[in-house]
Amino acid sequence: MSCDKGANPMRWDCATQGCFNLKKRPKIEVLADCLPGNMAFSDIDAIAEVCGNLLLLEWKSHPGLGTGQRILFERLTLLCPAVVLVVEGDAETMDVSSTSTIFRGGISPPQPTDLDGLREQIAAWSGWAMANSALRDMEAASCS
């Protein structure tokens, strides 16, 4: 795996600076009462934009999504030029066991894969996103 291009290494040293999750992650639960009902903010593990198209990665150490996150991703992919890859695996070791794709409101069943397969999926999405600019589509649909 090469990090020569597009690398975004974490610039935090837990050994000298303390636990990143405790020191730098917002405590979003203190905002929960600002939302209706039992809603809560969701954290998304990674997001990239290519030509107006969005790719979101959501890592899980277990199968499936919670109900709120599933609804969020289904609706997001209906309303935006977005794809969500739900990755089941171990984020610490980057061991990947399966991925599911959420696109246009639908969720595919988990497909067995590994890190190389995930990289291939991301590269394929990148190629598709570059060839199918959502920005170009927006310009064509605008009234100006």
Higher pLDDT, 46 or 16: 46
Q: Mind listing the pLDDT tens digit for each residue in 77-128?
A: 999 999 999 999 999 999 999 999 999 999 999 999 999 999 999 999 999 9
Domain for residue 5, yes or no?
Answer: no
Domain for residue 38, yes or no?
Answer: no
Q: What percent of the chain has pLDDT over 90?
A: 63
Domain for residue 95, yes or no?
Answer: yes
Q: Is the pLDDT of residue 51 over 50?
A: yes
Domain for residue 126, yes or no?
Answer: yes
Domain for residue 135, yes or no?
Answer: yes
Neighbours of 86 (CB within 10 A): 24
Domain for residue 10, yes or no?
Answer: no
Position 1 scores a pLDDT of 46
Question: And the tokens for 101?
Answer: 């794709």
Domain for residue 118, yes or no?
Answer: yes
Give kind and range of the element (H or E) at residue 34. none
Mean pLDDT of 69-81: 96
Neighbours of 27 (CB within 10 A): 7
Q: Are the C-beta atoms of residues 113 and 98 closer than 8 Å to each other?
A: yes
Q: Which domain holds residue 128?
A: 45-141
Q: What is the tally of structural domains in the chain?
A: 1
The pTM assigned to this predicted structure is 0.84
Domain for residue 111, yes or no?
Answer: yes
Q: How far apart are CA 22 and CA 25, in angstroms?
A: 6
Neighbours of 97 (CB within 10 A): 14
| Opening angle at CA 96, ends 93 and 97, nearest 5 | 135
Neighbours of 9 (CB within 10 A): 6
